[in-house]
Amino acid sequence: METPHRRSSDIISNLPDQVIETILAYWPIQDAVQTSLLSNKWRYKWNLIPTLVFHEERTHFPPDTKAFASNKIVNFVDRVLLQHKGSIHKFELSTHSLQDYVIDSWLLFLSKNGVKELVLQFLSRDRYCDQHFGQGKVSNLVRGLGCLTALEKLVIGECFMEFLAMGILPKRLLVTYDRLKSISLFINFNDLNQSLAMLFLFQSSPNLQELKMLANQVAATEYVVDFWKALGHLNCSMNHLRMVKIIMWGAKSELELIKFLLANSPVLEILSVNHITSEKVDESRVLKELVRFPRASTKAQIEYK
């Protein structure tokens, strides 16, 4: 007599391939890998899913030090990429610290798979700064993103922009991201290296349509950077940029960036500014400066919150 458990197993085993792949796409990657144990039909189906999301804090490794957790996630990502056979449309990584050669090897692999969406985030800066902030080497921006020309969406989360900005920046990037339509950044606008790295990305993304930026809180207490110096030598017309959203603290460097975007975006439609209030910043002064900035687009509207 057939048991309910046997019938359930048969149902799972006999699901169409397309249904299996859809189910796996919604599962955490670690759980998706383990579905190989369900049946022969499910074996290695996970290696065709197009979205790979790795969050160190959500991955169920045994409790231990952060260093141990980082080693575990490196081994896990290596194993997944080694066995993956299909196209990778999205790769998302959130971790505490990694050696730069590890990131380089993963990004090189992704470039060969034509990754379209990339999300990168360091959860803290204290662990990687001593490892990566060396002098006299090619910028991490060039080494890391230089080969990913198929990108359509790029998200650079907390601390990762600082990592990309380290090293020797070229006069301009030698690659063009013709397909890149959307960029989201977490950035310290008062860090000149980060500002330059960001501008190089803009300069190499001629078809950029959407830009989102979140300012590091340190910008609320520093007003010493003349941000325009990072802009003067760059030819960076943003001819397709239609929407900008920025969360800022009101620092001069942030306002200089907004001024630059308004002056160099001829089809801009919306500039949305979410001003995080601070006792050290006069909100009325910020608003007055914003409305006085010249605009290349006659349709550009400023939304101030």
The β-bridge partners of 153 are 117, 182
CATH number among 3.40.50.720, 1.20.810.10, 3.80.10.10, 3.10.580.10, domain 17-304? 3.80.10.10
pLDDT of 62 strictly over 70: no
Six-digit token pair at 122? Answer: 């360091």
Three-class SS of the chain: CCCHHHHHHHHHHCCCHHHHHHHHHCCCHHHHHHHHHCCCCCCCHHHHCCEEEEECCCCCCCCCCHHHHHHHHHHHHHHHHHHCCCCCCEEEEEECCCCHHHHHHHHHHHHHCCCCEEEEEECCCCCCHHHHCCCCCECHHHHHHCCCCCCCEEEECCCHHHHHHCCECCCCCCCCCCCCCEEEEEECCCCHHHHHHHHHHHHCCCCCCEEEEEECHHHHCCCCCCHHHHCCCCCCCCCCCCEEEEEECCCHHHHHHHHHHHHCCCCCCEEEEEECCCCCCCHHHHHHHHHHCCCCCCCCEEEEC
Instruction: For 272-294, write each residue's pLDDT tens digit.
Output: 998 887 666 677 778 888 888 99
Measured between alpha carbons, how far is 199 from 146 in angstroms, rounded to an integer? 15
Token duo for residue 233? 């030598």
Angstrom distance (rounded) from CA 208 to CA 201: 10
Range in 84-93, 233-242, 294-303 with the lowest mean pLDDT: 233-242
pLDDT at 133: 47
Measured from the Cβ of residue 5, the count of other Cβ atoms closer than 10 Å reads: 8
Please, what's the b/e burial string for 24-52 (b: 16 or more CB within 10 A of its CB; e: otherwise)? beeeebbebbebeeeeeebeebbbebbeb
What does pLDDT average to over the chain?
Answer: 79
pLDDT tens digits for range 192-217? 888 888 888 998 999 999 999 998 76
Tell me what percent of the residues of the chain surpass a pLDDT of 70: 74
pLDDT value of position 169: 78
Question: Distance (Å, rounded) from C-alpha 273 to C-alpha 244?
Answer: 8
Closest to 118 measured CA to CA, from 157, 85, 76, 81: 157
Taking the C-alpha atoms of residue 188 and residue 163, their distance in angstroms, rounded to an integer, is 12
179 versus 95: the higher-pLDDT residue is 179
243-248 and 210-215 as β-strands: parallel, antiparallel, unpaired? parallel
User: Which of the pair, 94 or 5, is modelled with greater confidence?
Assistant: 94
Q: Which residue has the higher pLDDT, 62 or 249?
A: 249
Better-predicted residue by pLDDT, 235 or 67: 235
Is residue 239 within 8 A of residue 267, CB to CB? The reply is yes
Residue 221 has pLDDT above 50, yes or no: no
The pLDDT of residue 177 is 94
Q: Tokens 């802009």 correspond to what residue?
A: 231
**Lowest-confidence range among 24-28, 46-50, 211-215, 254-258?**
24-28
Pairing type for strands 182-187 and 301-304 reads unpaired
Residue 113 carries which side chain, given as an amino acid letter?
A: N
Choice between 154 and 66, residue whose per-residue pLDDT is larger: 154
pLDDT in tens, 136-170: 577 888 888 888 999 999 999 878 888 888 888 77
Reported pTM: 0.83
pLDDT greater than 50 at residue 2: no
